[in-house]
């Protein structure tokens, strides 16, 4: 659930971004109220248009720090074809990682391409048993909504099998597809039940997903915490979820340390500190670490130009 303004202000994304891209790809124009009360329209109503700087793109994802969005003009796309869904289980991360690489290289564009790790699978089985065997160490969930979905699904099955999948299920039935996707939908609710939680959001190059998950496993061991990883394998955007006992001061500190170590690992792997959730307050210092000094200065200059009195979301998103 979210508001349209919040969706645009965070440049939100989700499961279908691997094919369709994020919110920004659909925003043609905006009405924005500036910090001094002036109202402006940026962007266009036409399919194409390159007049002036792309102020629309500047406001999308600015997390309310540059202006308040009051109207949005969106691009429409045709409805997708009936999807085919594929669920593949793997004994370990390596197999799932090989499948991710093979699928990414194969020239197929799945509309959903999701990953679940062993901890998340265990949590899902504890909440609502879906029948994953105890030897399952990783799951990939894929969907194609292309006109050639049948051929795509057959190719996805073959690629998962070649990568050593334990089991591959495929469906063209809407109810059955819904049931296969249930595992992904349950990921966060299943982890949330295990205690207090800190949901991270980092994005790494697809070829480094396995390295990220391995690092998260090591961090979980070091800090004595449970950390489930699930997310968008197709674009490398993972959501390591740190579980801890909020009543225990030591566990709270360990959880925060783990969160920071994961965010740092994402940068070291050539990734970014947030793939879709945004910077907010929690990651404002991380933005400064990710940006080079010149880019950091440009952010500060823009904030100063749009909001000289720092009225809009002070301390959020943009470095000062
Ligand atoms: C459990 C959980 C799961 C999430 N999953 C996802 C996910 O899958 N994908 C994803 O992209 N994000 C996700 N998020 C992050 C976030 O909730 C989304 O990006 C969402 O779209 C934000 O919209 P909202 O209406 O909730 O905005 P809010 O949380 O109310 O606001 C978000 C930011 O946008 C600003 N804002 C809100 N409205 C406007 C406006 N009209 N004009 C200017 N600025 C405005 C606010 O000031 C704030 O800085 C998740 C968050 C949580 C807690």
Our answer on whether the CB atom of 24 is closer than 6 Å to any ligand 1 atom is: no
Average pLDDT over residues 167-177: 92
Confidence at residue 174, expressed as pLDDT on a 0 to 100 scale: 85
Residue 170 pairs with which residues in a beta bridge?
86
| Interval between CA 260 and ligand 1 midpoint (Å) | 21
Q: Are 266 and 303 in contact (CB under 8 A)?
A: no
Atom 22, ligand 1: which residue's CA is nearest? 6
Max CA distance (Å), the chain: 60
Mean pLDDT across 80-105? 95
What's the rounded mean pLDDT across residues 137-162?
Answer: 96
199 CB near ligand 1 (under 6 Å) = yes
Average per-residue pLDDT in the chain? 95
Band of pLDDT at residue 319, cut at 50, 70 and 90:
low
Given a cut of 60, whether residue 159 has pLDDT beyond it is yes
- 19 Cα to the center of ligand 1, angstroms: 21
Percentage of the chain beyond pLDDT 90 is 91
SS (H, E, C) the chain: CCCHHHHHHCCCCCCCHHHHCCHHHHEEEEEEECCCCCEEEEECCCCCCCCCCCHHHHHCCCCCCCCEEEEEEECCCCCCCCCEEEEEEECCHHHHHHHHHHHHHCCCCCCEEEEEEHHHHHHHHHHCCCCCCCCCCEEEEEEECCCCHHHHHHHHHHHHHHCCCCEEEEECCHHHHHHHHHHHHCHHHHHHCCCEEEECCEECCHHHHHHHHHHHHHHHHHHCCEEEEEEECCCCEEEEEEEECCCCHHHHHHHHHHHHHHHHHHHHCCCECCCCCCCCCCCHHHHHHHCCHHHHHHHHHHHHHHCCCCCCCCCCCCCC
For the segment 86-95, the average pLDDT, to the nearest whole number, is 97
Q: Please name the residue whose Cα sits nearest to atom 8 of ligand 1.
A: 14
* The predicted structure's pLDDT at residue 301: 95
pLDDT digit string, tens, across residues 287-305: 999 999 999 999 999 999 9
- pTM for this model (two decimals): 0.94
Identify the weakest region by mean pLDDT among 5-9, 59-63, 175-179, 220-224: 175-179
Q: Measured from the CB, is residue 17 less than 6 Å from ligand 1?
A: no
- pLDDT above 80 (res 320): no
**Smallest CA separation from ligand 1 atom 29, residue:** 6
Using pLDDT thresholds of 50, 70 and 90, give the confidence band for residue 239.
Answer: very high
Nearest CA to ligand 1 atom 2: 199
The span from the CA of 143 to the CA of 16, in Å, is 9
Separation between Cα atoms, residue 179 and residue 283, nearest integer Å: 35
| Any atom of ligand 1 within 6 Å of the Cβ of 241 | no
The residue whose CA has the least distance to atom 45 of ligand 1 is: 64
Mean pLDDT across 269-276: 97
Nearest residue to 112 via CA among 16, 12, 229, 20: 16
Report the pLDDT value the prediction gives residue 297, as an integer from 0 to 100. Answer: 94
Ligand 1 lined by 64 (C-beta under 6 Å): yes
> Does residue 9 have its Cβ closer than 6 Å to ligand 1?
yes
pLDDT score at 254: 97
The answer to whether residue 13 scores a pLDDT higher than 60 is yes
Give the model's confidence band at 189: pLDDT under 50 very low, under 70 low, under 90 confident, else very high. Answer: very high
């Amino acid at each position: 659930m979210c508001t349209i303004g919040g969706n645009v202000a965070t440049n939100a994304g989700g499961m279908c971004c691997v094919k369709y891209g994020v919110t920004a790809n659909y925003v043609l124009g905006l009405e924005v109220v500036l910090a001094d009360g002036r109202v402006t329209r940026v962007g266009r109503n036409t399919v194409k248009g390159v007049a002036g700087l792309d102020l629309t793109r500047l406001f999308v994802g600015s997390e309310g720090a540059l202006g308040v969005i009051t109207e949005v003009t969106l691009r429409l796309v045709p409805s997708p074809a009936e999807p085919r869904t594929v669920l593949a289980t793997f004994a370990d991360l390596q197999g799932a990682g090989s499948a991710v690489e093979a699928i990414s290289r194969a020239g197929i564009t799945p509309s959903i391409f999701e990953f679940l790790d062993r901890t998340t699978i265990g949590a899902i089985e504890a909440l609502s048993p879906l029948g994953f065997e105890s030897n399952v160490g990783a799951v990939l969930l894929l969907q194609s909504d292309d006109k050639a979905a049948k051929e795509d699904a057959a190719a996805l099955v073959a690629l998962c099998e070649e990568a050593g999948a334990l089991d591959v299920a495929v469906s063209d039935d809407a109810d059955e597809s819904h049931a296969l996707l249930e595992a992904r939908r349950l990921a966060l609710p299943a982890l949330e039940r295990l205690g207090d939680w800190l949901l991270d959001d980092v994005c790494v190059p697809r070829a480094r997903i396995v390295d990220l998950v391995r690092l998260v496993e090591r961090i979980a061991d070091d800090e004595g915490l449970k950390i489930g990883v699930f997310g968008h394998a197709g674009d490398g955007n993972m959501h390591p979820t740190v579980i801890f006992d909020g009543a225990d001061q030591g566990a709270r500190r360990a959880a925060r340390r783990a969160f920071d170590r994961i965010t740092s690992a994402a940068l070291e792997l050539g990734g970014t500190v947030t793939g879709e959730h945004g910077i907010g307050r929690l990651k404002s210092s991380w933005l400064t670490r990710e940006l080079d000094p010149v880019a950091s200065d440009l952010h500060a200059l823009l904030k100063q130009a749009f909001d000289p009195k720092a009225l809009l979301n002070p301390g959020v998103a943009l470095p000062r």
